[in-house]
């Protein structure tokens, strides 16, 4: 199987830059959200549509990043 309709975009979630990657494998959509600077994966999900898969990862990324504290330097 080969990834089709690959797409990457950058958003701001809970005040943090996030890159959302999505693609289709067969009939199922896969999506991943990572924080841009170190590139660590925040969430991964699958869904029947691109919107469903991306919605799940964005919701989880918002939960994680929303409770991340920032310290003044």
Q: Both tokens of residue 42?
A: 């925040």
pLDDT value of residue 39? 78
Evaluate whether 18 touches 9 at the Cβ level (below 8 Å): no
Q: Running DSSP on this structure, what letter comes out for residue 48?
A: S
Give residue-wise pLDDT tens across range 38-53: 878 999 999 999 999 9
Give percent helix, percent strand, percent coil of the chain, each to the nearest 5.
25, 50, 30
Which residue blocks in the chain are alpha helix, DSSP H?
50-66
Q: What is this structure's pTM? A: 0.86
pLDDT value of residue 33? 96
Domains of the chain: 4-66 (3.30.67)
Low-confidence ranges of the chain (pLDDT < 50): none
pLDDT value of residue 73? 82
CA–CA gap between residue 11 and residue 35 (Å, rounded): 10
């Amino acid at each position: 199987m080969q990834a089709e309709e690959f797409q990457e975009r950058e958003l701001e979630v809970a005040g943090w830059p996030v890159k959302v990657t999505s693609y289709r494998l067969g009939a199922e959509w896969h999506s991943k959200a990572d924080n841009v600077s170190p590139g660590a994966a925040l969430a991964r999900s699958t869904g029947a549509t691109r919107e469903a898969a991306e919605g799940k990862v964005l919701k989880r990324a918002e939960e994680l990043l929303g409770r991340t504290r920032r310290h003044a330097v």
